[in-house]
């Protein structure tokens, strides 16, 4: 489709699957990650060779507004702007709130929530100028229900859900749609902390009887980014009927 698509946190898991899905559609890609430089560069090469598309790879701290500004300078120079923004970057913290330091809290919030502000803030002017655009935020069911021992993560995802609804109203007159995918248990490295027994018990709690896949999340993201100009401000739960 020759759109320009920015996917944050794209070196692995859901972000990687989303980038691949958009590349398969013929879109240009900007992919980012915070640490796994070689992994990201290998993925860039894979996308270019497999889908014959243009890919800009960038490694940096997505929680830093200064880094995001520099990223968008590169994007503007090379592509003009972003047509589809996928805010996927995120980290987790599992533990009691009383054991959490203020530094841990700030790191989670800046990476998971402030980054969504930064990328959206800098992507919107081009979208408004073009009178079209899609912003898709990757959220979590814990942003709806809350998770014990994941208070900071849940708070960030709840914030993303409210951010999505509010920004959708703000941008609807400019024909820009903002939606979120609230993922349930998706089979990624973030869930590697579970033992096989714990995985089986968790799968039994899900009516669909299994974890979701990154590819299923990616398929939904592509659907949301294609057409659907009246669909905005929605938190779409992808959880196999879990909650």
CA distances (Å), origin 71, targets 55, 66, 125, 131, 187:
13, 9, 15, 22, 29
Q: Residue 36: CB partners within 8 Å, gap ≥ 6?
A: 11, 12, 59
Catalytic pick among 67, 93, 153, 230: 153
Closest CA relative to residue 92, chosen from 230, 193, 207? 193
Active site residue 93: no
Do residues 56 and 31 lie in contact, with contact meaning Cβ atoms separated by under 8 Å?
Answer: yes
Backbone φ and ψ of 46, nearest 5°: -60, -45
Return the active site residues: 153
């Amino acid at each position: 489709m020759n759109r320009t698509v920015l996917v944050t946190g794209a070196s692995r898991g859901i972000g990687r699957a989303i980038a691949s899905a958009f590349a398969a559609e013929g879109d240009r890609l900007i992919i980012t990650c915070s640490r796994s430089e070689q992994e990201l560069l290998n993925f860039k090469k894979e996308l270019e060779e497999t889908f014959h598309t243009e890919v800009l790879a960038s490694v940096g701290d997505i929680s830093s507004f200064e880094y995001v500004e520099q990223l968008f300078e590169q994007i503007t120079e090379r592509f003009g702007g972003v047509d589809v923004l996928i805010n996927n970057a995120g980290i987790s913290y599992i533990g009691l709130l009383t054991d959490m330091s203020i530094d841990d809290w700030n790191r989670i919030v800046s990476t998971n929530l402030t980054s969504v502000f930064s990328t959206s803030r800098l992507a919107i002017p081009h979208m408004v100028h073009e009178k079209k655009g899609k912003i898709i935020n990757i959220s979590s069911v814990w942003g709806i229900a809350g998770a014990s021992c994941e208070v900071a993560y849940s708070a960030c995802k709840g914030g993303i859900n409210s951010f999505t609804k509010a920004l959708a109203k703000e941008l609807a007159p400019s024909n820009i749609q903002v939606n979120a995918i609230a993922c349930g248990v998706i089979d990624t490295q973030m869930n590697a902390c579970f033992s096989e027994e714990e995985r089986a018990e968790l799968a039994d709690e899900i009516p669909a009887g299994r974890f979701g896949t990154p590819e299923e999340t990616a398929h939904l993201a592509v659907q949301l980014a294609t057409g659907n100009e009246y669909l905005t401000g929605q938190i779409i739960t992808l959880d196999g009927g879990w909650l």
